[in-house]
Structure 1
Amino acid sequence: MQHVPTLDIRRYDSDRDAFVAELGAAYREFGFCCISGHGIARELIDGSYDAFQRFFALPAEAKLKYHIPGSGGARGYTPFKVETAKDSQYADLKEFWHIGREIPRDSKFADVMPPNVWPAEVPDFKRWGYGLYQALDDLGSRVLRALALHIGQPENFFEDKTDVGNSILRPIHYPPIDDASDIPNVRAGAHEDINLITLLVGASAEGLEVLSHGSWLPITTRGDAIVVNIGDMLQRLTNHVFPSTSHRVVNPPNENARKPRYSVPFFLHPNPDVVLDPLASCITPDNPRRYDTSITAHEYLMQRLREIKLIG
């Protein structure tokens, strides 16, 4: 049976050419790869999950203090059944929180990257949450270095395009499904991510599936592996050399459906003013240019947030 490979990112330093080739092949085939050997401390991951779970366990009225209407959930709390996968009939069965990049308030991007809010009820939420944000931001930059080499760019190609990226850490809580008839058996509908790459740290229950060659393939990780997948912005930038693959979260067909599920994706975004035109190195006679109109990362994000009903 085919499976999404797990690759040790330490090989970027010890066995670079082979690692870049294998990583590129995994993304061309699946749009997904599992990355091990990343060095993010278990304590940081476990501490973050603990802080996030304590927030989601708060009463609804406490959580709703951090819901910012009209913001598209850019920061703070988004309640259950708000986000809806593009073209889906049902809202997703999840609540989540958004942590963004801390930038100076006189930054040229301050108008589109609001300040973070932090829940007073969980005093260590910021320490754990922003610590994990920074660790995943660093790891994402390492993955992008290898991907840049794979498409014939210098390894630092993405650095000045993501150093003020509008990236988001999203702790998610999927509640237990007590009643199997609670509409669909899908906790998060089939979708593609909007951003450059997504890094998913662990999940407390199975359920993540990726669409590969017409069938749904479960993704499970071992050890310290983190799932990293391609988003639509990188698909566009690479003229579909790296595909952004549909994925979903289903209810496990066992007693885990009656347990809550937590997961923490990090959506690595470009700087808001980056233009997402296909790169010349990704345009060939076999893969002609697929996009004729230019669009910035911020314009693209706004377009997609309207589609998934996070903004009106």
Structure 2
Amino acid sequence: MKRIPSVNLSDFISNDPDRKQKFVDAIGKAYEDIGFVALKGHFLDDKLVDDLYSEVKRFFSLPTETKQKYEIPGIGGQRGYVSFGKESAKGKKEGDLKEFWHFGQYVENNPKLEAEYPKNVTVEELPNFNTVGKKAYRMLEKTAKYVLRALALHLGLKETYFDDYIHNGNSILRPIHYPPITQEPKEAVRAAAHGDINLITLLMGAQGRGLQVQNHKGEWLDAIAEPEELMINVGDMLSRHTNNKLKSTIHRVVNPPKELWGTSRYSIPFFMHPISDMKLNVLEGCIDEKNPKAFDDITAGEFLTERLIELGLIKK
């Protein structure tokens, strides 16, 4: 596998059984082979994408002391602003060369989850920032729901298997700013090699070089999407739930060549998480003689806490 396969969500929602099955087979194979696909036909229109990038760039252009007003202590960076260099990849001392923001779930009719999740943070200086962020969050969540429906069919499950787990799920929209590099970064990179924690990640802004994916031979491949495509990958929760049938692939964002150090890079991943009490126990249909059960039983909430501690975002 030398490049990232491309699929079109309009095939899945076309009401044509052949096109739908072709999509299920293609995305299933891609996620078994490399864990990444480029997806066209999603629910984000061009205007919403442009509006979101404009708002995000405005926010990251604010003075540092203004942004730091929105850094909320005690919540492991799950909402609001996380300042430059705070997050590091699992097992890495150096902080990544990035700052970012977190929009979280807008809970509907569930007081228990409303009390469990941190509240979203409102940026007073930018009246449209939160409105546009919420709209993009909803469209990415909708796209992710259909991708998971296709994967449920690929796994021999009921098509709507994931629906109740992801409704009001603990998903995160993370606009990231990789600022210009002003001095030799030594060991630090924009985002060190890592796997994602969640079920699936939908990434806006993978146009141009930077994002790289490691295939099964250990080779790093450039993952470059077309302007209208999202890059979508399997996270560790889904990999664990499927006994590694669907692969959570290690990926990274490398530093640009020196002549481009003076430029910012923006990317906006949407991390699709389920509700915390979803059991990530290995699916029976993914266990056989060749593939014995590889993981202990755990809930999504327990797994997330473990990983936030490893990333340095929550202190033990």
- What is the TM-score when the length of structure 2 is the normalising length? 0.95
In the alignment, residue 10 of structure 1 is paired with which amino acid?
S
Contact kept? 2:43, 2:140, Cα under 8 Å: no
CA distance in 2, matches of 1:77, 1:8: 33
Contact kept? 2:32, 2:247, Cα under 8 Å: yes
Q: CA deviation at 1:191?
A: 0.4
**Identity score, percent:** 46
Q: CA deviation at 1:158?
A: 0.3
* Residue of structure 1 aligned with 2:292, choices 272, 288, 293: 288
In the alignment, residue 52 of structure 1 is paired with which amino acid?
V
Could you tell me which residue of structure 1 aligns to residue 4 of structure 2?
Answer: 4
Which runs of structure 2 are paired with 1:23-42 in the superposition (5 Å)? 23-42=27-46
CA distance in 2, matches of 1:193, 1:38: 21
* Residue of structure 1 aligned with 2:57, choices 49, 53, 56: 53
Q: CA deviation at 1:185?
A: 5.8
SS of residue in 2 equivalent to 1:306: helix
SS of residue in 1 equivalent to 2:111: coil
Unaligned runs of 5+ in 2: none
Query: Residues 257 and 205 of structure 1: is their aligned pair in 2 closer, same or farther, counting only changes over 3 Å?
Result: farther
Contact kept? 1:34, 1:225, Cα under 8 Å: yes
Q: CA deviation at 1:276?
A: 0.6
Q: CA deviation at 1:307?
A: 0.1
| 1:208 equivalent in alignment to 2:211 | yes
In the alignment, residue 8 of structure 2 is paired with which amino acid?
D
Q: Deviations over 1:16-64 (max 9, x none)?
A: 1121111111111111101012242011011001101100000011000
- More moved, 195-204 vs 219-228: 195-204
- More moved, 243-252 vs 11-20: 11-20
Q: CA deviation at 1:10?
A: 1.1
Contact kept? 2:206, 2:225, Cα under 8 Å: no
| 1:122 equivalent in alignment to 2:126 | yes
Could you tell me which residue of structure 1 aligns to residue 48 of structure 2?
Answer: 44
Aligned residues: 310
Q: CA deviation at 1:203?
A: 4.1
CA distance in 1, matches of 2:260, 2:312: 29
In the alignment, residue 221 of structure 1 is paired with which amino acid?
A
CA distance in 2, matches of 1:11, 1:141: 15
SS of residue in 2 equivalent to 1:130: helix
Q: Deviations over 1:270-293 (max 9, x none)?
A: 1111011011111122211112x3
Q: Deviations over 1:77-113 (max 9, x none)?
A: 0001110100013111111010001125962123431
In the alignment, residue 193 of structure 1 is paired with which amino acid?
D
Q: What stretches of structure 1 move > 6 A for 4+ residues in a row?
A: none
Could you tell me which residue of structure 2 aligns to residue 268 of structure 1?
Answer: 272
Q: CA deviation at 1:255?
A: 3.1
- More moved, 122-131 vs 10-19: 10-19
- What is the TM-score when the length of structure 1 is the normalising length? 0.96
Contact kept? 1:34, 1:228, Cα under 8 Å: yes
Could you tell me which residue of structure 2 aligns to residue 311 of structure 1?
Answer: 314
Q: CA deviation at 1:224?
A: 0.7
Which runs of structure 2 are paired with 1:109-258 in the superposition (5 Å)? 109-179=113-183, 181-184=184-187, 186-203=189-206, 205-212=208-215, 213-253=217-257, 255-258=259-262
Could you tell me which residue of structure 1 aligns to residue 112 of structure 2?
Answer: 108
| 1:259 equivalent in alignment to 2:263 | yes
| Cα RMSD after superposing both structures | 1.5
Unaligned runs of 5+ in 1: none
